[in-house]
Amino acid sequence: MCPAQVKFPESYTAYAFIKPGGKLERITVPWRFPEDGEIVVKVLACGRLLTMCVLRDGGYAEYVTLRSEAVVAVPRDMDPAEAAPMLCAGITTFNALRNMDVSPPDYVAVQGIG
């Protein structure tokens, strides 16, 4: 359940092609509240990652609903350049190591990170 102080729209405006080959039409979409294990994140910045918009809806949304285990809080005062390696490359490597049967003093090789 969303905290009472957080105000979300009841609906939002989107544009969609309703019929193949048809005109782009303005539509109203009801807001989907998060389910168990999901959180709502306000997007503060968005890059130009067009594949995200093609593979998943909402690539340029103001708010997105994400699985809570897929989100990491980054301190406001942290430089984005310092945080970047922790994201895709860092989490991918961390998850791979976490799910392998390795422990100190084992050695692993990580290829192609970043």
pLDDT digits (tens, 9 = 90+) for 25-84: 887 877 777 778 776 666 655 554 444 444 455 555 666 677 777 777 778 898 878 887
Are both 42 and 81 inside the same structural domain?
no
Number of domains in the chain: 2
Same domain, 65 and 81: no
Mean pLDDT to the nearest integer, 98-107: 88
Let me know whether 14 and 36 are in one domain.
yes
**DSSP string covering 9-69, please?**
-SEEEEEEESSTT--EEEEEEE-----TTEEEEE-------HHHHHHSTTTT-SEEEEEGG
Same domain, 7 and 47: yes
Are 24 and 62 contained in the same domain? yes
Residues 77 and 92 in one domain: yes
Q: What is the pLDDT of residue 52?
A: 45
Domain span holding position 91: 73-114
Q: Are residues 3 and 48 in the same domain?
A: yes
